[in-house]
Structure 1
Amino acid sequence: MDTAFSLTLITTGLAALVTSAGIFTIRRFEAWGQRNTSYFICFAAGVLISASFLHMIPKSFSMQSQAPVWLLAGFMGLHLFNRFVTAFVCEKDPSARDYVIGLIPMLGIGFHSFIDGFIYSISFSVSIFTGYLATVGMVLHEFPEGIITYLLLVRGGFRPGTAMTLAFLAAAATTPLGMLVSWPMVSSISEQTLGALLALSAGALVYVGATHLLPRAEQEHRKFSLVALAGGVLVAVVIVLSKA
């Protein structure tokens, strides 16, 4: 368990570092970041979706008979949260609209990153391999997440320095925090409960990849976006097959 805790802490720190790198990159090399963000998004979506279907979902099904219910709950839970955020933005005072455009998505991304910390804890509690597989996809999607958070805050009217600070606190620092909060609970639960949480996490990952990352990339109609997506799928397949 000490080894699993150390690896989980290291990977959440890596996730925060990658998110910070995304924030720094878009701040210093904004033109380059905007040109290539869709490729990062597609690649990350390919890994997340494939890893969920090829390993995390089957693993949860073998541990928990009601895993399909939890899988649906994870997917629909994030969907409903996004609907809530959208409705909350629309109901805001028009005079505060500019700042809200940056703040509300920042809060939503912050919540998602906090839950990411739970997912790392759950995955490494199941097995080192499951944690490693989840880490590959999740770390890859942290880079564009940092970029997106920063850009939304800047477009909302925040100064670049303030946007960098807020983006780091919301998108980067929350992941290790979520891991530290969840680890004491996750490390002492039963296999049935762990399977349910793994299915819940897999549903969330599928939602992030299929409805959060891919649609954003498709809007840009980039020439090699399918290549980037296929590359992400291939990476997940190779990792899973290497374990078989």
Structure 2
Amino acid sequence: MNYMSVLLWIIAASLVGGMLSVTCAALFALNARAHWVNGLVSYAIGALLGAVFLDILPEAIKLTTNPAVLSGTVLAGILLFFTLEKLLLWRHCHHDHCEVHEPHEPPVHGRSGTMIMVGDTFHNFVDGIIIAAAFMTDVQLGLVTALAIIAHEIPQEVGDFMILLHSGYSRAQALALNLVSSLATLVGGVLAYFALQSMQGAVPTLLALAAASMIYVAVADLIPGLHQRTRLRDTVEQVSLIVAGVSSIFLVNLVVGV
């Protein structure tokens, strides 16, 4: 596949993914169906872990000449994301018990709407880089990665949307700000495309960091929230939706044709 086709895939995935996640998040937030959001979190966990262990890591291992260094990069990435999140918590909390980021419900204390948008814009920019690295490796890997990112972005965007409303923004303003923020995914993807053309050797490292990011989000940010619901029915639902998330990644592989 030529470079122009890859660039078009990156642009399409970044634009469609960003717009789709924001639109779905707005629908969830405006209809206030918390149960749907909880279910979506479980699905997102499966999609993230499925993308990491069925696609991103196997592809990164194929591209690297030193799997041990690649594994070390994943480990360092998890520690890095842990440190970054702790710094974010420290920046916005001024006491010992601060619930800045609750995975099971949108946080409404500690962070202003402006800070939420700054953080979300940077997050979207990094997502664009991850999407670009995946598509430049393989189109199928790019599609799977984009799907996983969309899946975990929707519940996050729901939280962001609710925070903006809580901060005094109107529904139209909250939607507009989230849509503008989503364009950072496109910026990150296009910039990474041109940068990575001259440094293909960095792709395995970026894929390892992408895997670390997804593992951390799934295990540290999303899974703990599922333990808030302990009924057997809730557990069965959560496991089923996680399996559905993993299965969707597997099905994408079949459809694209590996």
Relative to structure 1, the CA distance from residue 177 to residue 63 in structure 2 (aligned partners, 3 Å threshold; closer, same or farther) is: same
- Verify the 8 A CA contact 1:49 1:209 in the aligned structure 2: yes
Structure 1: how far apart are the matches of 2:19 and 2:218? Answer: 21
2:70 matched to which residue of 1?
A: 67
Mean Cα displacement is larger for which, 131-140 or 149-158?
149-158
Structure 1 gaps, min length 5: none
Letter in 2 for 1:17: M
Structure 2: how far apart are the matches of 1:99 and 1:53? Answer: 34
Q: What root-mean-square deviation, in Å, do the aligned CA atoms of Structure 1 and Structure 2 show?
A: 2.4
1:208-219 equivalences under 5 Å are 208-219=217-228
1:29 matched to which residue of 2?
A: 31
Q: Does the alignment pair 1:165 with 2:176?
A: yes
2:188 matched to which residue of 1?
A: 178
Relative to structure 1, the CA distance from residue 188 to residue 220 in structure 2 (aligned partners, 3 Å threshold; closer, same or farther) is: farther
2:43 matched to which residue of 1?
A: 43
2:105 matched to which residue of 1?
A: none
2:13 matched to which residue of 1?
A: 11
1:119-134 equivalences under 5 Å are 119-134=130-145
Relative to structure 1, the CA distance from residue 218 to residue 111 in structure 2 (aligned partners, 3 Å threshold; closer, same or farther) is: farther
2:246 matched to which residue of 1?
A: 233
Alpha-carbon distance, 1:103 to partner? 3.7
SS of equivalent to 1:173: helix
Normalised to the residue count of structure 1, the TM-score between the two structures is: 0.85
Q: Does the alignment pair 1:118 with 2:121?
A: no
SS of equivalent to 2:26: helix
Structure 1: how far apart are the matches of 2:164 and 2:81? Answer: 22
Alpha-carbon distance, 1:131 to partner? 0.7
Letter in 2 for 1:28: L
Measured against aligned partners, the alpha-carbon deviations of 1:33-61 in whole angstroms (never above 9, x if no partner) come to x2200111111210111220122112212
- Verify the 8 A CA contact 2:92 2:110 in the aligned structure 1: no
- Report the count of equivalent residues: 236
Alpha-carbon distance, 1:240 to partner? 4.3
1:149-164 equivalences under 5 Å are 149-164=160-175
- Verify the 8 A CA contact 2:28 2:37 in the aligned structure 1: no
- Verify the 8 A CA contact 2:127 2:185 in the aligned structure 1: yes
Relative to structure 1, the CA distance from residue 122 to residue 49 in structure 2 (aligned partners, 3 Å threshold; closer, same or farther) is: same
Mean Cα displacement is larger for which, 178-187 or 71-80?
71-80
Letter in 2 for 1:42: S
Higher helix share: 1
Structure 2 gaps, min length 5: 96-107
